[in-house]
Amino acid sequence: MKKGKILEHELVPKHEIMEESEVKELLDTYKIKKEQIPKIKISDAVIKEIKAEVGDVVKITRQSRIAGKYISYRLVTE
Amino acid sequence: MRTKRIKGIKFGLLSPTEIRRMSAAKIITADTYGEDGFPIEMGLVNQRIGVIDPGLRCKTCGGRMGECPGHFGHIELAAPVIHVGYAKLIYRMLSATCRKCGRVLLEEKEKKRFLAEIERQKEKQADVGDVVKQVFKEAVKNAVCMYCGEHQKVIKYDKPTTYIEIDEEEKKRRLMPTDVRERLERIPDEDIALFGMDPKSARPEWMVLTVLPVPPVTARPSITLESGQRSEDDLTHKLVDIIRINQRFMENRDAGAPQLIIEDLWELLQYHVSTYFNNEIPGLPPARHRSGRPLKTMEQRLKGKEGRFRGSLSGKRVNFSARTVISPDPDIDIDEVGVPEEIAKELTITVNVTERNLESMRETVRRGKRHPGANYVRRADGKKVKITEINYGMLADELDIGWKVERHLRDGDIVLFNRQPSLHRVSIMAHRVRVMPGKTFRLNPTVCPPYNADYDGDEMNLHVLQTEEARAEARILMAVERNIISPRFGRPIIGGIHDYITGLFLLTWGEKKFEREEVLALLRKIDIDDLGKPAEAPYWTGKQIFSMILPKGLNLQFRGRINDVIIREGELISGVIDEAAIGSFKGIIIDRIFRQYGEKAAKKFINDASRLAINYILHAGFSFGISDEDIPKEGEEQIREEAVREAEHKVEELIRAYEAEELEALPGRTLEETLELLIMQELGRARDEAGDIAERYLGIENAAVLMAKSGARGSMLNLTQMAACVGQQSVRGERIRRGYQGRTLPHFKSGDLSADAHGFVRASFKDGLSPTEYFFHAVGGREALVDTAVRTSQSGYFQRRLINALQDLEVKNDGTVRETRDTIVQFKYGEDSVDPSKGEYGKVVDIDEIIREATGAEVGA
C-alpha cells in the first residue's frame, strides 16, 4: 500500500500523539506510571506513519462492536 | 519467628565444592543394610543422611523420623562425566570458544554489543535466549581465534554425550569428559556472560560432573514388604549401579588396566549417571529393573501429568470428599444434593462445643455411629478419641465446652458439588445436603446443564467445607441460586430440560380444564394456599394453574417458539410455555423473575415449575414409540413419488445434461463442481420436502413433533430422518466419492453419478436402510465422530492455554483490567464495563423496558 494511505483505511483506527499535559492527566486518572500503559512498537506501521517517538503516548480511538467507541492508550517503545 | 519476604529466586549450577560442602556423608559402599538389619556406615542408606526407620535418630541433626528433613551425601566420581541435561549446551559452548585459549570467538566490539543487548533484555525482564542464540551462531563462524591465532576444528556432537573433534584432514578425535572439562575451565569469567550465565553461580565446567550429590534417603524411602523383605527406591537402585561402576573403574585404573577397558568402564559410568538423571534419553536404552520395568529416575519423577509439578504440586488429593454416580430426583430443590447415608456417615464437620450447643452435641455423640451422630471427639487438651459402640455414652456425658465433635454430615449442611471437566465456574456449585437412602448422589435435573451432566453413569464429586468462613463464602458466591444466570451470556443456565418443558407445554397448550381435585393433586408438592377463582367454574384452566407459580404482579411479553406469550399481573393470559420461556440457556421467564424478584424467587419458581411439570406429565402421560413415526399410506406414497422420485428424476436430468455438455458452469466453478452442487441442492430439497410432507401428516399431538416444537428434545430433522427420508450423506460437505476408482462401491458402475451411487439414503430409519445406504450412512457417521473427537481435544488445549494466559488478570475498582504488576491490559473491562450477568443483553440498561414499566406504554408503538 502506498505511504500515507494506511491512515485512511477503514480498518486502521485513529491514532493521536498526546500532549504532555494530556499524558499527565491520563496518568493521574488511573494513578499509574507511564510504564503501566499498554505498549506499541515504534516499528508499528501507524506509529511510523504519524512519526511518534519512543516515550510518546498515543490515544487510539476505535469502533468497538461491544461499546460503540472505545478509547485506548499505548506507550511507544522500541 | 519473624516472617521473611522472598525477594527473588536464583537458579544456578552446583559447583563441586558446594556439593562437598553441603554433603553430610561421603558414600563409598553400594550396600544398604548390614546383616544386623541396621543401615551400614558409608552406605547409601546412611544414618547421617536421613532416617526412615522409626526409632532411629539422625546422626547429623539428631532428629527422629519425621523431624529430620534428610541431608545430602556425595559420591566422588572416579572420572568426570557429562551431565546429560547440559550436553547440548556444552556442545554449543565448545563450538563457540577457542580450543586453545578458551575465549569466545568474537571480536571485542561484538562482545560489547551482545553484552549490552543482554543487559537490556534483562532490564526488561525479558528472555535473553534469542540474544544468546545469536552469540553462538556468530561465534562458530570464526575459524581462527582472534586472540591467540589458533586454528579451530569442527566439533561434532554425537548424541547423547559424545563430542568428536574433526580437523581439516577429516581426522577424528574423541573428546573425553576430562578434555571437555579442561576446555570449559579455560573460558574466562567475562566471556561467560555472553552465554547469558552468571559465572558466580554457574561456571560451565560444573556441567561436567566430578562429584555427584546423593539425595537424602527421605527422598527415596525404601519400603518393607509383607514378607519382611526390603524393597529399595528406583533412585537408590540407580545410585547402587553408579557406585559399583565407580569402584570398578578405580580398581581397574589403580591396577593399571589397558586403556580400552578403562574407556569401556568410563562409558558405562557415563551411562549410569545419564540414566540416573533421565531414563528416557533418545539413543540410550532405558535402565531396567530386574522385572524389566524401566526405572523411574530424576526427570521421570518431575515430568508429566503424574510428575511432581502437575501431579503433586498443582494437583493434590483432598480429604472430606466423596465421589459416586449421580441420578435424578425432581422432588428435591435445585440447590439440594441427595447424599447417601453411607457417605454422610463417613464425611464429617468439626463443631466446637459451646454453651449453646452443648446439649445438642451430647445428643449427637450419644447417637454414636448411627446416622446423625459423630465419629470422633477431640478433648479440650487436643486428644482425639474415636467414638465406638462401647464408649459413646461415656463420651457424651463427659463432653464439655471447649471440646470438638466431628459430627456426621446432616441435612442442610453446605457442600461443594463438582463434575469434571471443570470448564467454567458453574462446574462447581454449593448445594445443601439432603441425606437419603441409596448409593447415588441425587440432583434435580434442572441443574444438569451447568454441570453438563446426564445420568448415563456420570460420577460427581462432593467436598465438605470445614470452616465457617468457607461455608459463608460458598453460600454467598457459589450457591446454586446465585448462579442461575450465566456470566457467559447473561441468560439462565439453569432451567427446564426435556420432560419439564414437555410437561409445562402440555399443561398450557390449548384450553385444558381441571377439576378442583385435579388442581390440588397437581399442586400437591407446591406451597400454594390460594387457588383463586376457576376461570370456567367449576374448572380451572392449565394456564391458570401455571400462573399460580408465577410471582404476583409479573408483567412480561415475549415471542415463544410457537406463539406470543403474554403475562399480565402474574397471570398467563395467552401463549404456551415452551423452551424459550423456561428452558435452560433461554428461559425468559426465569431470567425476568431473577432480575425483578431476585434469586430466591427465581429458585422458588424453578423448584415449583419442575414439580408442576413432572406432576402434570405424570398425570397426563407421555410416551413415544415406533408407531409415532407412522405415516399414513398416502403420505408414504406422496413422499416416495413427490419428493424422492421427482428429485431423482431431476438428478438424472442434470446428469444427462452434463453428459450432453448442455450444462452451464456457475461462475467460479468447474462444470463438475456445478453438477455436484446442483445435485446436492436437489437432493437436499428432496429430504426437506419429505419432511414437510411427513409434518403435514403428523400433528402436534404426535409426541415427537410436540417435543421438537416445544424445544424439549429433538428436532424436526430428527423426525424427518426417522419417519420419511434420511437424505444425502456427506463427507467434508460433498457427496461421498471415496472408495474405488470412479465409484464408491462395487455395486455401481464406474462413473455412475446417480444419487444412489453417491450416498443418497432414500429410506427412513423406520423403514430400514439398504446395505449400500447403510454403508454410506456409516461413512458419514464416522466423519462426525472423528470431528467431535478432534474438536474436543483441540478446544480443550486451547482453553487451557487461554486460562494460563489470563488467570491473573483482575478488574480493579476503577474499571481497568490489570495484571499482577498493575500494568493495564484494558482501560475499561470488556470495553463497556458491563458484567454480562448483570447487564441487559449487551446493554447497560434496557431503556425500552424501563419506559414500558413506568408508563405502561409500548415504546415506538
Contact residues, chain A, for B124 at CB < 8 Å: none
In this predicted structure, which of B313-317, B481-485, B801-805 has the lowest mean pLDDT? B313-317
Structural Rg of chain A based on CA atoms: 13
B844 contacts chain A (CB < 8 A): no
Distance from the A70 Cα atom to the nearest Cα atom in chain B, whole angstroms: 6
Question: Who among A36, A37, A70 is closest to B828 (CB)?
Answer: A70
pLDDT tens profile A53-73: 899 999 999 888 877 888 999
B633 band by pLDDT with thresholds 50, 70 and 90:
confident
Min Cα distance A23 → chain B (Å) is 14
pLDDT-derived band at B571 (thresholds 50, 70, 90) equals: confident
Q: Does the pLDDT of residue B474 top 70, yes or no?
A: yes
Contact A30 B823 (CB under 8 A): no
Instruction: Go through the domains of chain A in sequence order and give each one's CATH number.
Output: 6-77 (3.90.940.20)
Q: Does A4 touch chain B (CB under 8 A)?
A: no
Instruction: Please give, rounded to a whole number of angstroms, the shortest distance from the CA of A25 to a CA of chain B.
Output: 14
Q: Which residues of A touch B824 (CB under 8 A)?
A: 30, 32, 36-38
Q: Where are the beta strands (DSSP E) in B177-266?
A: 208-214, 223-224, 230-231
CA distance B441 to B449: 16
Q: What is the pLDDT of residue B464?
A: 96
Interface contact B832-A66, CB threshold 8 A: yes
Q: Which three cell numbers stand for residue B363?
A: 445428643
Q: Is A35 on the interface with B (CB under 8 A)?
A: yes
Q: Which residue of A has its CA nearest to B820?
A: A36
CA torsion sign for B188, B193, B196, B199 is positive
Closest-CA residue of chain B to A71: B827
Whether residue A71 and residue B827 make contact (CB cut-off 8 A), yes or no, is yes
Domain range summary for chain B, segments of one domain joined by +:
321-483, 499-620, 626-785
- Min distance A3 CA to chain B CA atoms (Å): 30
Contacts of B484 (CB under 8 A, 6+ apart): B492, B493, B494, B590, B594, B599, B602, B603, B606
pTM, 2 dp:
0.76
Q: With cut-offs at 50, 70 and 90, classify the pLDDT of residue B152.
A: confident
φ, ψ of residue B677 to 5 degrees: the values are: -60, -45
Partner-chain contact A36 B824, CB within 8 Å: yes
Give residue-wise pLDDT tens across range B14-54.
999 999 999 988 888 877 776 676 777 778 887 788 877 77
Whether residue A67 and residue B832 make contact (CB cut-off 8 A), yes or no, is yes
Does B827 sit within 8 Å of A73, measured CB to CB? yes
Contacts A31 to B, Cβ<8 Å: 814
Are the beta carbons of B831 and A67 separated by less than 8 Å? yes
Q: Whole-angstrom Cα distance, residue B385 to residue B388?
A: 9
**Chain-chain contact of A30 with B816 (C-beta, under 8 angstroms):** yes
Q: Does residue A36 belong to the interface with chain B, where contact is any CB pair within 8 Å?
A: yes
Higher pLDDT, B621 or B28: B621
The answer to whether residues B421 and B368 touch, using CB atoms and an 8 Å cutoff, is no
Residue of B nearest to A62 (CA): B831
Cα–Cα separations (whole angstroms), residue B64 to B23, B246, B387:
19, 32, 31
Name the residue among B825, B831, B842 with its Cβ closest to that of A70.
Answer: B831
Look at B824 and A70 and tell me if their CB atoms are within 8 Å: no
Q: How many residues does chain A have?
A: 78
Q: Which residue on chain B is closest to A60 by alpha carbon?
A: B827
B644-670 mean pLDDT: 85
Question: What is residue B773's three-state secondary structure?
Answer: helix
CB contact under 8 A, A30 and B832: no
pLDDT of residue B842: 54
Whether the predicted pLDDT of B394 surpasses 80: yes
| Chain A: closest CA distance from residue B802 (Å) | 19
B824: nearest CB among A30, A66, A70: A30
CA distance B168 to B170: 5
Q: pLDDT class for B738, splitting at 50, 70, 90?
A: confident
Chain B within 8 Å of A30 (Cβ-Cβ)? yes
CATH topology of domain B626-785: Topoisomerase I; Chain A, domain 4 (1.10.132)
Beta strands of B127-249 (E only): which ranges?
154-158, 162-166, 172-175, 208-214, 223-224, 230-231
When pLDDT is averaged across residues B604-624 and rounded to a whole number, the result is 92
Confidence (pLDDT) at B488: 82
Cβ separation B814–A30 shorter than 8 A: yes
Chain A residues in contact with B825 by the CB 8 A cut-off are: 38
Cα B608 from Cα B36, distance rounded (Å): 75
A63 backbone dihedrals φ, ψ, rounded to 5°? -75, 135
Helix (H) or strand (E) holding B417: strand B414-418
Strands (E), B278-382: 321-328, 336-340, 348-352, 374-378
Return the percentage of chain B with pLDDT > 70, whole number: 97
* pLDDT, position B301: 92
All three cell numbers of B137, joined, read: 551462531
Q: Report the alpha-carbon distance of residue B454 to residue B713 in Å, rounded.
A: 14
Among the partner residues A31, A35, A64, nearest to B831 by beta-carbon distance: A64
> Given this model, what pLDDT does residue B640 score?
82
Q: Could you read off the pLDDT of B358-388 as tens digits, one per residue?
A: 999 998 998 888 888 899 999 988 888 898 8
Check B842 against A30: CB less than 8 A apart. no
* pLDDT average, residue stretch B510-529: 88
CA B760 to CA B274: how far, in whole Å? 61
Let me know if domain B499-620 sits in CATH 1.10.274.100.
yes
Topology of B321-483 in CATH?
Answer: Barwin-like endoglucanases (2.40.40)
Q: Which residues of B touch A37 (CB under 8 A)?
A: 823-824
Residue B353 banded pLDDT, cuts 50, 70, 90: very high
Distance, CA of A17 to CA of A7 (rounded, Å):
14
Give the tens place of pLDDT for each residue, B101-115: 888 888 888 888 888
pLDDT bin (cut points 50, 70, 90) of residue B861 is: very low
Residues in chain A where the model's pLDDT stays below 50: none
Span B790-840, pLDDT tens digits: 988 898 889 888 988 898 999 999 889 999 888 999 998 888 888 877 776
Question: Cβ–Cβ of A30/B831 closer than 8 Å?
Answer: no
Residues 6 or more apart whose CB falls under 8 angstroms from that of B51 comprise B57, B58, B63, B64, B65, B68, B217, B218
Interface contact A72-B814, CB threshold 8 A: no
As for the ipTM of the complex, it is 0.92
Q: Quick check: B426 pLDDT over 90? A: yes
Q: Which residues in chain B are closer than 8 Å to A64, comparing Cβ atoms?
A: 831-832
Residue of chain A whose Cα is closest to the Cα of B842: A66
Q: How many CB pairs under 8 A join A and B?
A: 34
- In this predicted structure, what is the pLDDT of residue B857? 61
User: Residue B843 pLDDT more than 80?
Assistant: no
Question: Stretch B418-445: mean pLDDT, rounded?
Answer: 93
In the stretch 42-71 of chain A, residues with CB closer than 8 A to chain B read 64, 66-67, 70-71
Instruction: Decide if B814 and A38 are in contact by the 8 Å CB cutoff.
Output: no
Average pLDDT on B335-356 reads: 94
How close A2 gets to chain B, by Cα (Å)? 30
What distance in Å separates residue A36's CA from the closest CA in chain B? 4
Find chain A residues with C-beta within 8 A of B831's C-beta: 64, 66-67, 70
Which residues from chain A sit within 8 angstroms of residue B828, using beta carbons? Answer: 67, 70
Q: Is the pLDDT of residue B678 over 90?
A: no
Residue owning grid cell 470422633: B376
Cell, residue B665: 458452469
Q: Give residue B108's pLDDT.
A: 87
Residue B502 CA to residue B710 CA, distance in Å, equals 7
Instruction: Give the DSSP H/E element, type plus range, for residue B463.
Output: strand B459-464
